[in-house]
Chains A and B, each alone.
Chain A
Amino acid sequence: MSQGLSRKIIEYALTFLVIVSMNFFLPRLMPGDPFTFLSTEEGSITIIYTKEQIDRYKAYYGLDQPLLRQYVTYLARLGRGDLGYSIYFNETVGRIILNRIPWTLTISIIALVLGGLGGTLLGSLSAWRRNESMDQGLYLIMIVCSEIPTFLVGVFLLFFVAARLRWFPLAGGITPFANFKTGFARFNDLAAHAFLPIMTLSVTRLADFYLLARNTIINVLTKDFMRTAQAKGLRKRRLLFRHALKNALAPVVTRAFLSLSTVFNGAILVENVFNYPGVGRLLREAVIVRDYPLIQGVFLFMTVTVLIMNLLAEVVYKQLDPRVN
């Protein structure tokens, strides 16, 4: 077991190295550099640097050195945990990402939990009453929901709930500079801003978990031991929850870990729609201004998190389902 685990870790480490290298070279191959801003959006302004100024800044940030030397410096710094210094935002990359992570993680995790719980419950219900009209209808709706891109749902909610009905704020994570008299008031404000992004993200998750739960439980319900239990006369609810769900737990939980990657994808889109101050919006801004260290930092953070989640998923699966060798 330990040999298998160490082999796995080596594989993951290799994957990590490939990702890091790709991460380094890709942004630098993009046309344009971080200092050349000639044009702007309408009505906006920018400061145009002369060639001498750009050379000076390039020297300051070490961008004038040969590519390979920059690569080695990057790896060395990474080993020390230094993610670099953002050219555009004028702050260490680590600190920028650290400040934004809580926002993204909060909405992602809450959406995952809500979607997971809701989906599993609905899925088990559906599986229990499979092929009845409720199940058919729900199944159809859920298929559609699982495929719809998150931003469509987000735009829809933005329009109707936020703009037309004015129930929720349109932008930001918290009302800035408001003096909250109590912690409760502050929590309220945070929740109001986070509500729509969370709802948007959880719709797809809900559908996904619903389908998974439904399939898994149907599989379990048709197994022989379930028939035995039913024949023994056990109450329906006990059957469903004690036996069926327990057996379905393994795939659902591992799916939860694995779907973090999809949730990140969703978070990128949702944060841009709702102007939410998370890591997803940071990435888009960084790509637009070609801030290499920041793009690398965000990319690295996301892929490392997803890799760790995958590793955890495998470990958890082994624990939950001892049948797997």
Chain B
Amino acid sequence: MRRKLMNCFIFIIIAVMCVNMSGCIFNKKSEKASADQQPLVINLEGGDWGYPTPYGHYQRGPGIFKMQLLFDSLLQRGEEGLIPWLAEQWEVSSDGKEYIFTLREDVKWHDGQNLTAEDVKFSFSYFAVHPPVFDKLQEGKGNLVAAIEVVDEHTVKIVVETANATVLERLGAMRIIPEHIWAKVDDPKKFNTPEAVIGCGPYVLKAYDREQGAYRFEAFSDYWGPQPRVDVIQFVPVSDGILAFDQGEIDLTSVSPDLLAKYEDKKEFALKRNPAFWGYRLIFNMEKRPEFKEESLRQAIAYAVDQDELVEKVARGAARPASAGYLPVDHIWFNHEAKQYGYYPERAKELLEGKEYAFTLLTGNNNAELRIAELLKISLGTVGLKVQVKSVDMKTRDAAVKNKEYEMVLYGHGGWGNDADLLRSLYAREEGVGCSPSADGIPGYTNARINELCQRQLREMNPERRKELVMELQAVIAEEIPQLPLYNTTGYIVYRPEKYDGWRYMFDHHEVTHNKLSYLEFK
């Protein structure tokens, strides 16, 4: 009896294992079959980033780009700059306060209705009352838009409170939502029926599985614009990107520099290097430690930090040293003549004049930040600056940055490629104008020249003159160096060009999969 039971038990276990293994083989076959059929299906690394409506996607992560596949905007970010999208052309009045957009006439919503100027007017008014997650229209406590007028069925006039150089981009970045659906929605955050994802973009959301973190987008057949080259985009969960890419589960992934050799010089793979729009910086809190107000101390720190060592050891070569003028090497308005410091510890010692200081460096708890902190501690130690590293989790560190509870803080974020106005939010100290938390960035620091240049570049409507101002601004920032940008990560991606090769970057972003144009036939 006992033996029979044992046998039964063993048999069951073996049977279950056999069934599982046959199941795996069975599954692989069915996946292969679908790849041979006609529609082009691209699989990418998934993750749950929220239901892709302007209110439903999560604040953090690439959810916004999934939402942008479904919803179009007036302007689109192209490879060199802004390109006309829903708005065929636009006019700016001489005082810079009135923007007249002429819309395309053949735009349809996913449910078949036509897009008109009423929808545009509705979108902006609705956003003023119910701000979406990604909201570029807020201006302090109020809204950028003072008034909107529908001139005719395909023309809209938007009047803004104050004229400045960033208005066009901000207006152009807002998504257009259908009036006939959203007019009856009072609580947009809780609106997550299938109607909520009806937009006028090139793709339609067919499936969203929150627990698995999986999405499925299919091309919209009636799309007004450049036709989608990819018929189906699927985002699937993976544990390790390289492994999944190797097994054909996904069609593009990022590669660490150590593994490049696997894919280099092989015809079936293509490698691309991302532009450097994500980076780490070191902020000095001049309120807590007034010693940082000495320019010589800050410059000494800049000379004492070996950026190349950080790039080599922490980023393993997949990064570029950051510019002291903040805007990174790949930014369209990068000033390559701004002062760069390099690694000169003797000059640092000279500037310090033999004085010794001790600081606390606050950092997060991810691998790279800890490594950077360790290396900084060593190099600053050699010139007489004692650094004590304190590591906390990301949220705690962010709260400390917001509340200015640190002496030196190290953290990393993206968006280094955004419009040059970010310099104003980072470096200028002004009253009243809406500053975001990371923008009140350097506690205790204010510089008249920087403040003046920031204001002037904001008001300058002529792009050429504005570019000159921004160049000058970077030069002053590099000289003053009130915070120290460390390096900008690049990273590599690998994909199979035979399957699909339309990947391209926007002029200010570091990921090809986030770019709508990657999936479309766009010259």
Contact = CB atoms under 8 A, between A and B. Distances in A.
A174 B2 contact: no
Contacts of A91: 192, 210
Interface in A69-122: 85, 88-91, 96, 99-100, 103, 117-118, 121
A185 interface: yes
Interface string B232-245: 00101111100110
A30 B393 CA distance: 11
Nearest to B210: A99
B278 A170 contact: no
Given A176-B237, A288-B394, A103 B211 contact: yes
A226 to B, nearest CB: 17
Contacts of B26: 185, 188
B211 A52 contact: no
Contacts of B192: 90-91
Given A32-B395, A38-B402, A49-B59, A43 B212 contact: no
A52 B60 contact: no
Interface string A133-174: 000000000000000000000000010000100111111111
B237 A171 contact: yes
A188 B27 contact: yes
Nearest to A235: B1
A170 B22 contact: no
Contact of B31 (A37, A163, A178): A178
A322 interface: no
B23 A191 contact: yes
Given A168-B20, A237-B2, A289 B211 contact: no
Given A43-B491, A43-B511, 18 more contacts: A36-B398, A38-B402, A39-B401, A42-B368, A44-B62, A46-B413, A52-B140, A60-B189, A89-B48, A89-B58, A90-B51, A90-B55, A176-B234, A185-B27, A195-B17, A195-B20, A275-B237, A277-B213
Interface string B283-327: 000000000000000000000000000000000000000000000
B240 A241 contact: no
A107 to B, nearest CB: 14
Contacts of A53: 131, 135, 138
Contacts of A277: 211-213, 237
A39 B409 CA distance: 12
B64 interface: yes
A102 B511 CA distance: 35
Interface residues of A, number: 71
18 contacts: A30-B395, A33-B399, A37-B59, A38-B411, A38-B437, A39-B401, A40-B60, A40-B412, A44-B62, A47-B134, A49-B437, A50-B435, A90-B192, A168-B24, A170-B243, A175-B31, A188-B24, A277-B211
A10 B262 CA distance: 65
Contacts of A121: 5-6, 9
Given A40-B413, A43-B510, A178-B31, A50 B212 contact: no
B133 interface: yes
Given A43-B254, A176-B46, A35 B30 contact: no
A228 interface: no
Nearest to B16: A191
Interface of A: 30-33, 35-53, 56, 60, 85, 88-91, 96, 99-100, 103, 117-118, 121, 125, 158, 163, 166-179, 181, 185, 187-189, 191-192, 195, 237, 240-241, 274-275, 277, 288-290
A39 B397 contact: yes
B33 to A, nearest CB: 10
A37 B23 contact: no
B436 A192 contact: no
B523 interface: no
A240 B239 CA distance: 46
A99 B211 contact: yes
Contacts of B247: 166
A30 B438 CA distance: 21
Interface string B343-356: 00000000000000
Given A37-B398, A42-B412, A189-B23, A174 B243 contact: no
A31 to B, nearest CB: 5
B366 interface: yes
B60 A176 contact: no
B131 A45 contact: no
A289 B60 contact: yes
A85 B55 CA distance: 15
A177 B133 CA distance: 28
Given A88-B58, A176-B212, A45 B414 contact: yes
A20 B395 CA distance: 24
Contacts of B31: 175, 178
A51 B17 CA distance: 56
A135 to B, nearest CB: 16
A173 B239 CA distance: 12
Contacts of A195: 17, 20
Contacts of B489: 42-43
B181 interface: no
B515 to A, nearest CB: 13
B364 interface: yes
Nearest to B34: A179
Nearest to B60: A46
